Amino acid sequence: MSATVLAARPGLRLVDGTPGQVARTELVTPGMCGPNALFFGAIGDWTWDAVSAACGTNVYDARVAGGAPTYLSFYYFHLLGTDRLHPLRVTFGDRLRVESGVFRLASESVLTLHRIRYDDGAPDRPVEAGEPFTEPVEGCLYAVNVNRWIVRGRPDSNRGLARGVPADFVTDDLPRLPADWPPRLAYTRARRAGVFDHDPPAGPGEPERFAADYPVEASRDLNGVGLLYFASYFSIVDWALLRLWRRLGRDDRSFARRVVTDQRICYLGNADADAVVRVELALRRSGPDEVVDVSLTDRASGDPLAIAALRMRPGGPL
Amino acid sequence: MSATVLAARPGLRLVDGTPGQVARTELVTPGMCGPNALFFGAIGDWTWDAVSAACGTNVYDARVAGGAPTYLSFYYFHLLGTDRLHPLRVTFGDRLRVESGVFRLASESVLTLHRIRYDDGAPDRPVEAGEPFTEPVEGCLYAVNVNRWIVRGRPDSNRGLARGVPADFVTDDLPRLPADWPPRLAYTRARRAGVFDHDPPAGPGEPERFAADYPVEASRDLNGVGLLYFASYFSIVDWALLRLWRRLGRDDRSFARRVVTDQRICYLGNADADAVVRVELALRRSGPDEVVDVSLTDRASGDPLAIAALRMRPGGPL
């Protein structure tokens, strides 16, 4: 347990008697919502808080035995929303209850699951690893985050990141994931295939394809240690999606009203401040929804940076 | 006093016996730092927290008597940093102490002053309105925020915003600003002249001038209620500054290392999601520093959106 982090992030509560479980109540501020990936940034911070509390490491200031900084990098991010609660619907003044569980994946990686709902004043309840896939609680938004420790291989580069676990990082007490935990299989397959499966699957026919080059914006896309910020990947996907949206003859207002009920990213690499990201999209119908497959590639090297998938509906009225 | 906000933002402490004064200790997360205006967003949230605590209104969910939402909009933002503590230097794991005072400006507007420093464990101390200008505490970063209440004039537009004070907003108990409080004169003059004064002034000679058009990015620049986010104005200024930087033959790495010790913005108007912002910069020497004057204008209408000023030095080593 990292007392330092618990003291400095006072919204965090331990859920009694359940290893790896914390809870918090959040009043949503402008700094954590909007069509700007700030809500994804907030979820990322909640993950770092939960892991700090569960694993005895101050994730915000972690170092390997030799003293080099190490970062609890995002490896897989899966958001499962509903019409009632999805990232674009969250707004100022909403009161959210966030219950989070941290699970052991391997010695250098953990899974954090957040159950997010409008606050109903009920007591804190632990969240189960399989819950969003087997018995989701009505009206909740779930975020699954898989993270692992990485260090820079070279001081001035964001490429060639290597493993590096902090000395005080302990996951032995945490519950392990069941072997048949669905996302592990899904993202392992996606990393191999370069594309996610959809369930229900996309319909037949040719997808709408779109590709564009996004130059990393040194004034905006990096985090406080100069790495491409994990939430910026969501912004880059949205940037390209808006341009596909317009090409389909849809207006910006309906873009703001789209309902995204499922969003996944596998993080495959980081990029430098002067990189150009090639973004390729393929949009298909899937029943009443649309599904979008996305790949992000470093244009110069061809190295994959991320694969992503969305399930959404063009929006109704606000 | 808004008990709802204090309960849901549990980091906030009242500073005993001093009306309008609150304090907090913040562990810096990725979601509140970096060259991405997230730190400005965090300061904005701290302002809304402080005003909620001081004025009895839940600023995050405020309405005028008729029921329409009203927003505590940013009118003037002034940040005074030092080499030791400035927005680009703040990083993950820093522990900051933030002491904030709210002062009465007029019936619909308030001034919030934040004194920000690395946490030294000392007891909370009230902050005086004139402090950053007359006797700043060594090594502190100050943020001066002037805010006033605005409502949308038309539901689908971000232009023609009007006044609208929530019924429960009470500033009578707050200390008033001294008549000779320096920033009020400075920003009033700047709004009239369209440019800030610099102290010490800029040197003689022709400035380096640069202009560029920034299309508002609907996937990124708006806040949770569809207005151009106040922190996005900082991003737009930085976007243009980076392009001037490159034209001067400087590299992106030194851009990340620049030391910005003074940054001011007067907010003059909001813009719609499809607006194009004309950004004009003028850079001059001022002793050992560089000063930059910035204007943001709606390209289509010619309406002013903001004027800004920076004092900085091209960066040394990190």
Cis peptide before A200 (omega within 30 of 0): yes
Q: What percent of chain B has pLDDT over 90?
A: 80
Q: Are B200 and B286 in contact (CB under 8 A)?
A: yes
Question: Considering only CA atoms, which of A242, A241, A218, A238 is closest in space to residue A228?
Answer: A218
Q: Tell me whether residue B5 is exposed, middle or buried, using C-beta atoms within 10 angstroms of its C-beta: 0 to 12, 13 to 18, 19 or more.
A: buried
Over residues B177-214, the pLDDT tens digits come to: 887 788 888 899 999 999 999 989 999 989 999 999 99
pLDDT recorded at residue A318: 40
Structure tokens at A233: 């990947």
Structure tokens at B180: 């000779």
Which conformational region is residue B139 in: left (phi greater than 0), alpha (psi within -120 to 50 degrees), or beta? Answer: left
| DSSP single-letter state for residue B122 | P
CA B305, CA B268: separation in Å to the nearest integer?
A: 5
Angstroms from B98 CA to nearest CA on chain A: 12
Which residue of chain A comes nearest to B87, CA vs CA? A224
pLDDT band at B154 (very low <50, low <70, confident <90, very high): confident
Preferred mutation among A22, A92, A156, A236 to probe B, highest tally of B CBs within 10 A: A92
- Look at chain A and count its residues: 318
Determine the pLDDT at residue B189.
Answer: 93
Tokens read off for A56: 């005895």
> B235 and A256 in contact by Cβ < 8 A?
no
How far A41 CA lies from chain B's nearest CA (Å)?
5
Given this model, what pLDDT does residue B1 score?
52
> For residue A4, what pLDDT is reported?
65
Q: What is the pLDDT of residue A3?
A: 65
Beta carbons of B156 and A253 less than 8 Å apart: yes
Choose among A222, A256, A273: nearest Cβ to B218: A256
Determine the distance from the C-alpha atom of residue A284 to the mean position of all C-alpha atoms in its chain, rounded to a whole number: 23
Checking if the pLDDT of B318 tops 50, the result is no
Yes or no: say if B110 and B103 are a contact pair by the CB < 8 Å rule. Answer: yes
- In whole angstroms, give the CA distance from residue B157 to residue B89: 37
Describe the crossing of helices A38-55 and B38-55 by its angle, rounded to 10 degrees: 90
Strand pairing of B276-286 and A141-151?
unpaired
Local confidence pLDDT in tens for the 318 residues of chain A: 566 677 678 889 989 878 899 999 999 999 999 999 999 999 999 999 999 999 989 999 999 998 999 999 999 999 999 999 999 999 999 999 999 999 999 888 999 999 999 999 999 999 999 999 999 999 999 999 999 999 998 888 888 888 899 988 999 989 998 877 888 888 999 999 999 999 899 999 899 999 999 999 999 999 999 999 999 999 999 999 999 999 999 988 899 999 999 999 999 999 999 999 999 999 999 999 999 999 999 999 999 999 999 999 876 544
Q: Do B60 and A224 touch (CB under 8 A)?
A: no
pLDDT higher than threshold 60 for residue B130: yes
Residue B9 to chain A, least CA–CA distance (Å): 7
Distance from CA of A296 to the nearest CA of B (A): 17
Q: Which of B13, B44, B55 is nearest to B230 (CA)?
A: B44
Cβ–Cβ below 8 Å for B60 and A27: yes
Tokens 């200008």 appear where?
Answer: B133
Is a pLDDT exceeding 90 seen at residue B103? yes
User: B307 with B268: CB under 8 angstroms?
Assistant: yes
- Best of A6, A26, A29 to substitute, by most chain B Cβ atoms within 10 angstroms, is A29
ipTM strictly over 0.90? yes
Q: What band does B16 get if pLDDT is binned at 50, 70 and 90?
A: confident
Residue of B nearest to A39 (CA): B31
Q: Tell me how far apart the alpha carbons of residues B303 and A90 are, in angstroms, rounded to a whole number.
A: 31
Helices (H), B194-291: 230-247, 252-256
DSSP A130-191: THHHHSPPTT-EEEEEEEEEEE-SSTT-SSS-EE---TT---TTSPBPPTT-HHHHHHHHHH
Size of interface A-B (CB pairs under 8 A): 174
pLDDT, tens digit, 9 for 90 and up, residues B206-265:
999 999 999 999 999 999 999 999 999 999 999 999 999 999 999 988 999 999 999 999
> Which residue of A86, A219, A223 to mutate against B (max B Cβ within 10 Å)?
A219
Rounded CA-CA distance B318/B315 in Å is 8
Task: Report the pLDDT value the prediction gives residue A17, as an integer from 0 to 100.
Answer: 79
Per-residue confidence (pLDDT) for residue B2, from 0 to 100: 59
Q: Which domains does chain B have, with CATH numbers?
A: 3-177 (3.10.129.10), 194-313 (3.10.129.10)
Q: Are A298 and A228 in contact (CB under 8 A)?
A: no
Name the average pLDDT for chain B.
93
Q: What is the pLDDT of residues B261-296, one digit of tens each?
A: 999 999 999 999 999 999 999 999 999 999 999 999
Contact status, residue A201 vs residue B17, Cβ threshold 8 Å = no
